[in-house]
Amino acid sequence: MKHVGEVLSLTISTTETRSPMEKHTIFVDTKGIVGDKHYNKDPERSILLTSIDSYLLAKNHSIQIPDHALGENLLIDYNPYKLSPGTRLQIGSAILEISQPCTLCKHLSCIDSKLPKLLKHDRGIFAKVIQKGEIKTGDSIAL
């Protein structure tokens, strides 16, 4: 396994809160992130990985994006957007498999009208859980 980066932050969304909640630790299984509102909805899209590069790209174009506004579950310091579906990552005690690129949401244009075009291929990438486990802020990421 090759170390490629680390987890900068973790967030989940619940049905009780409108804003994503930052967590220090999350638990994942083959249905997704335990406690997340998307748990057991679509295993192929159960976890959204976003690179800090997405936020920096926007900042370099004078667009300020609030923390967690891209909807990520894991914000990481590694750019996974060019990884092929089927590529596996070990993060903490969990193993995730890249499944598909993230599609753009309409809410991005509410932040800035240029944002959807700018982040067309750089918003995030979905992964599914292959091996359940615990993921913590600061955990290393290995290919």
Boundaries of every domain in the chain? 3-142
Per the prediction, the chain carries an average pLDDT of 94
Provide mean pLDDT across the span 84-102. Answer: 97
| pLDDT tops 80 at residue 6 | yes
CATH of region 3-142 = 2.40.33.20
pLDDT digits (tens, 9 = 90+) for 18-44: 788 999 999 999 999 999 999 999 999
Closest CA to 1 of 92, 90, 81: 90
Closest CA to 138 of 7, 1, 5, 13: 7
| Percent of the residues in the chain that have a pLDDT greater than 90, as a whole number | 84
pLDDT of residue 16: 85
User: Residue 47 has which token pair?
Assistant: 């976890």
Distances (CA, A) of 118 to 55, 56, 67, 87, 115: 11, 12, 17, 25, 5
Provide mean pLDDT across the span 116-127. Answer: 92
Our measurement of the distance from residue 133's CA atom to the centroid of its chain's CA atoms, rounded to an integer in Å, reads 16
Distances (CA, A) of 83 to 32, 49, 74, 89: 20, 12, 16, 10
The pTM for the full model equals 0.94
Closest CA to 126 of 77, 71, 58, 78: 71
User: What are the backbone angles phi and psi of residue 112, rounded to the nearest 5°?
Assistant: -160, 135
